[in-house]
Amino acid sequence: MRSAMVERKTRETEVMVTLDLDGDGEYDIDTGIGFLDHMLESFARHAMLDLKVRASGDLHIDFHHTTEDVGIVIGQAVAKALGDFKGINRFASATIPMDETLTRVSVDCSGRPYLVWKVSFSKPKLGEMDTELFKEWFQAFAQNAGICVHVENLYGENNHHIVESCFKGLARALREAVAIDRRLGDAVPSTKGALGS
């Protein structure tokens, strides 16, 4: 079973995540941030992973700490569930259209985290959430999952569509990248014989 449970407690937040990479896209999300919940539900469904998230944080200050820490813990759960990366496809890309918006996301599950974020917004907020926080979530996720993630919004006008296409793109790319390649068997998809360095 490629599953994991991770908890993180700080003076700012408490986050608990359970995740199954080979799930059915079931989700149970409560971060206290409605828009983030919406994005994570979409992420779970399109990645076809089962995801439960419980988070409480200092939302009376702003949404930054909770958003970032949820990204950290989901990333850690993905890394834990992946283990030594044996037998996975490793690379994948997805190009996601949403009405007037088109976004491309590419991933390399390599153990070497990196984020390229070519996304901009025309407004500082979506509902009550600062749009700058979406990069923070993706950065936290990539760093803690050990995944190289490139996100590029090719074009679009509606900020909701732009953000949602980023999460759906990550979901679809991750779904393919972590899928088992039966031809690899127990081999690591690298000429080095190991990933993460």
Q: What is the pLDDT of residues 87-135, one digit of tens each?
A: 899 999 999 999 999 999 999 999 999 999 999 999 999 989 999 999 9
> Is residue 185 one of the residues assigned to a domain?
no
183 found inside a domain: no
With the C-alpha atoms ordered 54, 38, 20, 70, is the resulting torsion angle positive or negative? negative
How many domains are contained in the chain? 1
Q: Is 186 part of a structural domain of the chain?
A: no
Which CATH number covers residue 7? 3.30.230.40
pLDDT of residue 85: 86
Residue 29 lies in a domain: yes
Q: How far apart are CA 75 and CA 29, in angstroms?
A: 15
Range of the domain at 29: 3-177
Q: Is position 146 within any domain?
A: yes
In a domain, 188, yes or no: no
Question: How high is the mean pLDDT of the chain?
Answer: 94
Between CA 21 and CA 7 the distance in angstroms is 17
| pTM of the shown model | 0.93
Per-residue pLDDT, 86: 84
Q: Contact 8/31 with Cβ under 8 angstroms?
A: no
Q: Indicate the pairing of strand 50-57 with strand 91-98.
A: unpaired
Do the domain assignments include residue 89? yes
The confidence band for 184, taking pLDDT boundaries of 50, 70 and 90, is low
187: in domain: no
C-alpha distances (whole Å) from 156 to each of 68, 131, 161, 164, 170 are: 25, 15, 8, 12, 17
